[in-house]
Amino acid sequence: MTHELVEKSKKYLWLPFTQMKDYDKDPLIIESGNGTKVKDSAGKEYYDGFSSVWLNVHGHRKKELDEAIKNQLEKIAHSTLLGMTNVPATELAEKLVQLTPEKLTRVFYSDSGAEAMEIALKMAFQYWQNKGKTKKQSFIAMHNGYHGDTIGAVSVGSVDLFHDIYGPLMFKSLKAPIPNVYRSESEDPIQCRDECLHILEDLLKEKHEEIAALSIESMIQGAAGMVVYPDGFLKGVRELCSKYDVLMIVDEVAAGFGRTGKMFACEHENVQPDLMAAGKGITGGYLPIAVTFTTEEMYEAFYDDYEKLKTFFHGHSYTGNQLGCAVALENLRLFESENIVGQAAEKADYLRDILQELYSLAHVGDVRQLGMMCGIELVASKETKEPFPFEKRVGYHVSLKMRELGMLTRPMGDVIVFMPPLVSTKEELADMTAIMKEAITEVTAVVV
Ligand SMILES: *Cc1c(COP(=O)(O)O)cnc(C)c1O
C-alpha cells in the first residue's frame, strides 16, 4: 500500500517550493496526526517542529476544532460573500476586530496570506486614487521581505532565491534596508536600527509624493531566516510612514495569532498599521482563511454611490468560507479559554534557556527567537561568519537528518527553522531541541 502510494505521488504530483528531484529521492506521505506529532503512511511518527509550515497552534486533531467543523457541516459548507454574508463570517469579523489594534475595524476575507497581501496592496493603491492623490502609485518594500508567492506579493518581496527570476513580471518597488544585527558590522542593535531608519527617511523625504504604502513583516522576517528587528524599529517605521503620509501595511501572516507571545506581533511596540494581513494560525492550522484588516478611514474612501466607481473590485470564489470561519471562531475561543498567548510567552522563555545550549556547537553562528518563532543560523566559521557553500545544502541535509531522528521542519537556506505548535509541552520542546542538536552536530561534522 505504502509503496504504491509513493509511486503515485511521484507520478502525479508537483509539490510547492520543491525540487521534485529531491522529493523523488526522499518521498514522504503524511497520513495522520495527533497533538504535536504527525505520522507517515509507513507508520513512522515525527514531531511537527515547524507547525506544518507555521500554521498549527493547538496540535493536530484538537477535539473542539474537529467538532466545530462537524457542527458547521450540519448547517452548510459554503455560500458566497459577494454581496451577502454568512453567520460564522460575521461572528468571526466581530471577534477579530475586538482582538486587533484599535484602529483596525474592518475585515476583508481571503484564502491565503499572499491574497491577504495582494488585497492590502490593491486597497492602498486604490485608496489614494479614490482620494484624488493620483500620483501616489508606488510601494516601499523591505530587503529580504517575504509576503507570499503571487505576483503582487512577490513585487514587494525580495528574497532573491525565490524572486529574482520573476523580475520582469513585477511592478517596481523601492527597497529599504532591514536591520540584521548578526550580519551588521558593529552588531550593535541600536546603531543598526538607526542607520536603517535614516536610509528609510531619506527615501521617504525624496519620494513620498509618489509612494502609496510601505509593506513590512511584523517584528521579525520569517522567510529571510527569522531575522528579529531591534527594539523600536517597527515603531520607528510607523512614525516615518505617518510623518510622510504613506500607508503602512504590516504583514502578520506568520507572526500573528500568538506566535510571538502576543496575539499580534505589532503589540510588542503598540504599532497601529493602516492595513494588516493575517492568515496561517487564524484557523489553528485547519483550513485556508486569511484576512486583510483596515481602518474606518480607508473603508470610507471606498464607500459611495456605485456610479462613482469607488468599489473595491476584488474577491475569490471561497472568500468567507463557512467551514473555515467556524473553525477560526472556535480557535479564537480556545485562545481565550486555554490562555494560548500567555502559554506561548511562557514556553518561549523556557525555549530561550534551552536553545542557548546550541551555541556550544561548532557551526551555530546565531540563535534568533521571538516568542515561538526560532531560527538557528549555521555557518562554516563562527569567527568570520562565513556561510557554508550554497551547493553543500547544509540546512537541507540537517532537516533530512532530523526527519530520520523523528522531527519535521524546513530550513530557510542554512537557517534551521524551529516553530513548534504553541501548545507543545516543555518536555516536547526539550526533545525537539535535542533532535536539532544531534542533527546539526552530525551533519556539520561531515561537511567540513
Ligand atoms: C506564509 C507567509 C505569507 C504567505 O501566506 P500563504 O498563506 O502561504 O500565501 C505571507 N507573509 C508571510 C510573512 C508569511 O510567512
Per-residue pLDDT tens digits for 181-238: 999 999 999 999 999 999 999 999 999 999 999 999 999 999 999 999 999 999 999 9
Q: Work out the percent of the chain whose per-residue pLDDT is above 70.
A: 99
pLDDT tens digits, 352-378 = 999 999 999 999 999 999 999 999 999
Looking at the domain 67-337, which fold is it? Aspartate Aminotransferase; domain 2 (3.40.640)
Q: Where are the alpha helices (DSSP H) in 208-307?
A: 233-243, 296-300
Domain with CATH 3.40.640.10 in the chain: 67-337
Q: Rounded mean pLDDT of 270-286?
A: 98
Task: Identify the pLDDT of residue 49.
Answer: 98
Question: Does residue 1 have a pLDDT over 70?
Answer: no
Annotated binding site for pyridoxal 5'-phosphate: 113-114, 251, 316-317
Mutate to test the pocket of ligand 1, among 144, 253, 257 (most ligand atoms within 8 A of CB): 253
Residues constituting the chain:
448
Q: Give 54 Cα–ligand 1 centroid separation in angstroms.
A: 9
Task: Identify the pLDDT of residue 165.
Answer: 86
Mutate to test the pocket of ligand 1, among 221, 266, 280 (most ligand atoms within 8 A of CB): 280
Q: Which ligand 1 atom sits nearest the alpha carbon of residue 252?
A: 13
Kindly list the protein residues whose Cβ atom lies closer than 6 A to any atom of ligand 1. 112-114, 117, 146-148, 217, 222, 251, 253-254, 279
SS percent in the chain: helix, strand, coil, step 5: 45, 15, 40
Side-by-side strand order, sheet with 373-378: 364-370, 373-378, 415-418
More reliable by pLDDT, 159 or 148: 148
- Let me know: does 137 contact 212? Beta carbons within 8 Å: yes
Q: pTM here?
A: 0.98
Question: Does residue 91 have a pLDDT over 90?
Answer: yes
- Let me know: does 265 contact 278? Beta carbons within 8 Å: no
Q: Give 219 Cα–ligand 1 centroid separation in angstroms.
A: 15
Residue nearest to atom 11 of ligand 1 (CA): 147
pLDDT tens digits, 151-193 = 999 999 987 777 778 889 999 899 999 999 999 999 999 999 9
Domain with CATH 3.90.1150.10 in the chain: 2-58+339-447
CA atoms within 13 A on the CB side of 368: 23
Q: Give 161 Cα–ligand 1 centroid separation in angstroms.
A: 16
Q: Which ligand 1 atom sits nearest the alpha carbon of residue 114?
A: 9
The CATH classification of domain 2-58+339-447, taken from the options 3.20.20.70, 3.90.1150.10, 3.40.50.300, 3.40.640.10: 3.90.1150.10
